[in-house]
Amino acid sequence: MPNPTPAVADALFELWVEDLGGSLDVAQEKLAEFVAASGVGSRPTYRANLVFEELVTNALKYGEMSGFRHGEPPRVGCTVRVTPTELVLEFRDRGRPFDPSVAPPPRRATTIDEATVGGLGLELVRKVASAIDYRREELWNVTRVHLLLVPD
Amino acid sequence: MEIQIDTSDPELRRVRLVGRLDSAGVGKVDLRFLASTAGAGIHSIVDLSQVAFVASLGIRMLVDAGRTLSAKGRKLVLVVPEGLVAETLRDGGIDQLITMVATDGEAVAYLAAA
């Protein structure tokens, strides 16, 4: 079955998140609107939201962002590109260097009694991504997550 | 995010979650959810059929409740129809830890046999 053709080819969208409260909520809504309007279907839209939620939350909670000037809020930027074959989300933050593509997978519990869910967010991202690229640009972490456009 | 809690059966708690189980959604319901399931200490059926999205924080909330109930010798069962939410839960390995079924009837049958 051929891949669906997005309504908007090579569309580009950028947003910034500064906190895990209202700013993340608003960004999630804008992201969902943009991706849905691109006509990529419900599964890529859902997965884009999942990747966005997990990576932005991780960066703001654990990124120890020291690269910002005094008084400037820590923040995470995300650029979204929709091509005919994939959806690409590029995240930028000034936290400590962190490459999510090589982070160790969480230990899988075999019973509910020993279950913990630390590291699960990154595991979910790795499950849905076709590729994850990371580079450090001066003070910036730049993480690019590729999502294949597959039929719903 | 909404939470609907049915306390009519003294031996079975039914909880329905409605909306998005992301960081914002979990922050709105986690205390009531944990109090009504883990805190009640009775078998619990959690209906996720009206949940449109689940992220790792939402999964953590479900696992926390399941683990606490298990320590009390009780079970938590998730009602999750096939779809993207079920797919995410399986990606996170939750189906290996908590019983997931498609309907309330299946959940009741599972608890009756447990």
pLDDT per 10-residue tile (average), chain A, 152 residues:
47 74 82 88 93 92 66 82 93 90 82 81 95 94 93 67
Residue A18 is predicted with a pLDDT of 76
pLDDT of the residue at A23: 79
Q: Which residues, given as ranges, of chain B have pLDDT below 70?
A: none
pTM (two decimals): 0.89
> If you average pLDDT over every residue of chain B, what do you get?
96
What is the predicted pLDDT for the residue at A67?
Answer: 57
Mutate which: A112, A123, A150, vs B, most B CBs within 10 A: A112
Could you tell me if A109 lies within 8 Å of chain B, comparing CB atoms?
yes
3 state DSSP class of A115: coil
CA distances from A42 to A3, A6, A56, A111, B48 (A): 13, 12, 21, 32, 18
Contact A120 B92 (CB under 8 A): yes
Half-sphere exposure of B5 (CA within 13 A, CB side): 15
Q: CB distance from A17 to chain B under 8 Å? A: no
A26 lies within 8 A of chain B by CB: no
**Chain A, 46-65: which have a CB under 8 Å from a chain B CB?**
46, 49-50, 53-54, 57
Chain B's closest residue to A42, CA to CA, is: B84
CA distance B65 to B62: 5
Q: Which residue pairs from A122-125 have beta carbons closer than 8 angstroms and sit at least 24 positions apart in sequence?
A: A122/A54, A122/A58, A123/B91, A123/B92, A124/A50, A124/A54, A124/B55, A124/B56, A124/B88, A124/B91, A124/B92, A125/A50, A125/A51, A125/A54, A125/A55, A125/A100
Smallest CA–CA distance from B96 into chain A, residue: A110
ipTM over 0.90: yes
**What is the C-alpha separation between B103 and B114, in angstroms, rounded?**
17
